[in-house]
Amino acid sequence: MTGIGKWQGNVNIQILRFSGDVFITIEDNNGEYAVDIKLPPQLEKVKLNFSSIEETGDNGLKGKGKLLTPAGRELNFEAGVEFDGDDMTGYLKIAIANIKIKNGHRIA
């Protein structure tokens, strides 16, 4: 399985005027990917629920699902990450933004 471990990266969300660290944990759950994403404190009440996660090539993962806002609104999202050894880059696409994850690295 690709990307198993704990990762940290940085996001800069211009439409919300802040930046911060994002933490991603990827685990093997009986052959299925289990992904937990901890967003910066300003977005801690936003929840990402994956409906599918698949491998892309030898070093990537792509997932789709629903983003739940604190106001109860659901937005479709697509997320992807690429791994290069202990480095990682990624993105999160929602209707109103394309957020890049930069300077990602393995932390465990």
**What does the pLDDT look like over 5-44, one tens digit per residue?**
999 999 988 776 778 999 999 999 999 999 999 988 888 8
pLDDT of residue 59: 96
* Predicted TM-score of the model (pTM): 0.89
pLDDT of residue 96: 78
What are the structure tokens assigned to 90, written together? 């990624």
Q: What is the mean pLDDT of the chain?
A: 93
pLDDT of residue 50: 96
pLDDT of residue 67: 94
Residue 31: partners with Cβ closer than 8 Å, 6 or more residues away: none
